[in-house]
Chain A
Amino acid sequence: MKSKLFGAATIAALAFTLQPAAAQQSIKIGFVSTFSGPQAAIGEDMRRSVELALEHLGGKAGGKKIEIVYEDDQFKPDVGKARSEKLVQQDKVDFVAGYIWSNVLLASLKTVTDEGNTILISANAGPSQIAGELCNKNFFSTSWQNDQTPMAMGEYLNTKGVKSLYVVGPNYAAGKDMLAGVKRTYKGQILGEDYTKWPDQLDFSAELTKIGAAKPGGIFIFYPGAHGVQFVKQWAQSGLNKTVPLYQVFSIDAITLPQQGELALGTLGAQEWVNDLPNEQNKRYVADFKKKHNVYPSYYGAQSYDAIMLVASAAEALKGDVANKDKVRAEMKKADFKSLRGDFKFNTNQFPIQNFYIQETVKDPAGVMTVKTIATAVTAAKDSYYDKCSMK
């Protein structure tokens, strides 16, 4: 009796363990982003790019169908964590990608990479912690570490000879990283530094008045999405646009420009990807995106496209068998795919080693506001935290 029960239990257990491998007909990717509320436009741009990546892949990688499960983080860390947990536990996805916000990513990281032992690819957020002491073998980035883009801006300001700077950003994980980044490379004088309440401060009059009184050679800001719209509008309305130039990261892009309009004309920003980078895959991506949606894609979209392509490259090399995580990670580390920014390598902490460019806000021949590359700020840049990472 006892042995019979044991036998039955063994068979049942075997059946259960075998089931996922046998049932794996498709490669499942969970995609977490913001699809509702004021920042939903960013999530929409990412979703469109993921769909375009699938289209370019013919919906398949390594002979298997790619399946995407989208989840809305509602711009909230707790919701993002719960949705990530659902993807890992309930949907049993093979990969989780996405994440716009550093605070949402930090809240979800352990749920996915440790408790779920699932590979996570950040398509945007790059908090310093994950590049350094919290680095994880299951974490890959197809974007950047937060400090890097502002560091590139700082280098450019040095070469441009901007004597003094006033820096402003929101008071949360990414805001602190961004301002720390520009301060690390910029050699001129920092005349002032303000952190504003995130995400519900809508009025920047006090900060702009302080900037006007400090008379800096430039303002540096980090205000992603809808907040960038507000800051740029108020900067222009205050009359400071005539006296103090604005330098930005992640605050003026394809998503915010329709609302900022001509107020943003001539401002400079730093970015690792620009829509006019001259490689074949990028030309195809931008042309197809514009044809489908009649707007320019943004770096959020480009990074999401790359995240799907990275997964597809590993699946292709393994002929669709993504069950062995060690093999998948080894393949992903090669970054053997055609990135929209041109080829890049992964550092030991699995963040990209890549170039950063300076982009200017211009009007395209059709009169649409967009950005174009005017200079390369830094080449093959590594982030400043990888030596704190235990992975070598």
Chain B
Amino acid sequence: MDYLLIQMLNGLQLGLLMFLLAAGLTLTFGIMDLVNLAHGSLYMMGAYIAWTLIAWTDSFVLGALLALPATFALGVVVEAVVMRRLYARDHLDQVLATFGLILFFNELVRMIWGPAGKSIAVPAFLSHTVEILPGVPYPAYRFALIVVGVIVAVLLAWLVARTRLGMLIRAGASNRRMIAALGVNIELLFSLVFGLGAVFAGLAGLMAAPISSVKIGMGDDILILAFVIIVIGGIGSIKGAFVAAMIVGQIDIVGRAFLPDLLKTFMAPAAASSAAPAISQVLVYILMAGVLVWRPTGLFGQRS
């Protein structure tokens, strides 16, 4: 029972991290109709900028808080310099250009920070384990990730559902040309949305940094999963991204934690231990294929 609970927390924490990344991606994809492969680069830049600021301020919290406006600014600059030129183009051009951005950012990081990668230590006040239940320890930092993830998700839900900006975002997701025709400053809205997406990606990057490592291409690994999540959730839907991220987080953990034992109940142990990793790695893709057959626009997709 304790074991199950901890594994579910692991899945929750992974899901929330994925949600932060997917939220920005689904916003830009759904509202701006922009395929941004370089979203993972913003995740990486968030981590590297945080590393620099944490070293500079000598405080994890302060450095992390300062890194957020910095990634917002970076997002706005990238939007103005590159993305703005891509809106009128088709998706293939966008894929090519943003793929170029990935290479650009990877080289930039290599030039500024070097090839070796950096390490952000878990802040001292979180570098212990907490007992979530008596006798069940859980790393405090991972617990903090869950708390921050939930707070950000609630904030985002409020922003999208209750504010004027959120209203424009939702309107933009369902009919972009119509809100332009109604006199909404689309350029400004796009700048804001892209900057917001960059902040979430940067936040995910800097929060993941202490449990993984700050390295070149760190965002490229996780980006594919973020795309899977927005496809499952329905492109442009924040709610969809959240639900899909939760499902994907749990499925990923279940596949890794329980599948080998499950397979051993009806397969030879040797065959089970070689089949389980192969199956658990494709589980999310099977889920995606299943959702697409059942609902071609994703769980909460709006476009037909």
Residues of A participating in the B interface, judged by any CB pair closer than 8 Å:
35-38, 40-41, 43-44, 171, 193-197, 199-200, 202-203, 205-207, 209-210, 213, 226, 229-230, 233-234, 237-239, 255, 258-261
| Distance between Cα atoms of A195 and B281 in the complex (Å) | 10
Contact between A237 and B213, CB atoms less than 8 A apart: no
- What residues of chain B lie closer than 8 Å to A259, measured between beta carbons? 116-119, 213
Smallest beta-carbon distance B47→chain A, Å: 12
Further 13 A-B residue pairs, CB within 8 A, beyond A196-B277, A203-B211: A36-B110, A38-B117, A40-B110, A41-B117, A194-B260, A197-B281, A200-B221, A202-B218, A205-B253, A210-B257, A230-B211, A237-B122, A237-B139
Given A196-B277, A203-B211, A209-B6, A41:B256 Cβ within 8 A: no
Contact between B117 and A229, CB atoms less than 8 A apart: yes
Flag B95-123 by CB within 8 Å of A: 1 or 0 each. Answer: 00000000000100010000111110110
Given A44-B115, A259-B119, A171:B277 Cβ within 8 A: yes
**Which secondary structure dominates where chain B touches chain A?**
helix
- What residues of chain A lie closer than 8 Å to B208, measured between beta carbons? 202
| Distance between Cα atoms of A16 and B267 in the complex (Å) | 62
Contact between A38 and B216, CB atoms less than 8 A apart: yes
Contact between B212 and A238, CB atoms less than 8 A apart: no
| Distance between Cα atoms of A37 and B110 in the complex (Å) | 9
Smallest beta-carbon distance B150→chain A, Å: 17
| Distance between Cα atoms of A233 and B142 in the complex (Å) | 12
Whether a CB of chain A sits under 8 angstroms from the CB of B222 is yes
**Which of B10, B129, B256 contacts A196 (CB under 8 A)?**
B256
Whether a CB of chain A sits under 8 angstroms from the CB of B273 is yes
Top 7 A-B residue pairs of the complex, sorted by shortest distance between their CB atoms:
A200-B221, A40-B115, A259-B119, A205-B10, A206-B256, A195-B277, A38-B215
Given A41-B115, A194-B260, A233-B211, A205:B221 Cβ within 8 A: no
Whether a CB of chain A sits under 8 angstroms from the CB of B166 is no
Flag B133-147 by CB within 8 Å of A: 1 or 0 each. Answer: 000010101100000
Closest chain A residue, CB of each to CB of B276: A195
Contact between B142 and A205, CB atoms less than 8 A apart: yes
Flag B1-30 by CB within 8 Å of A: 1 or 0 each. Answer: 001001100110110000000000000000
Contact between A238 and B110, CB atoms less than 8 A apart: no
Residues of B participating in the A interface, judged by any CB pair closer than 8 Å:
3, 6-7, 10-11, 13-14, 106, 110, 115-119, 121-122, 127-129, 137, 139, 141-142, 208, 210-213, 215-218, 221-222, 224, 252-253, 256-257, 260, 273-274, 277-278, 281
| Distance between Cα atoms of A226 and B221 in the complex (Å) | 13
| Distance between Cα atoms of A237 and B218 in the complex (Å) | 20
Contact between A230 and B139, CB atoms less than 8 A apart: no
Smallest beta-carbon distance A294→chain B, Å: 13
**Can you identify 9 A-B contacts, CB atoms within 8 angstroms?**
A38-B117, A40-B216, A41-B115, A171-B278, A206-B256, A207-B256, A238-B139, A259-B116, A259-B118
Contact between B116 and A44, CB atoms less than 8 A apart: yes
- What residues of chain B lie closer than 8 Å to A207, measured between beta carbons? 256
| Distance between Cα atoms of A237 and B115 in the complex (Å) | 25
- What residues of chain B lie closer than 8 Å to A206, measured between beta carbons? 7, 10-11, 252-253, 256-257
Contact between B257 and A209, CB atoms less than 8 A apart: yes
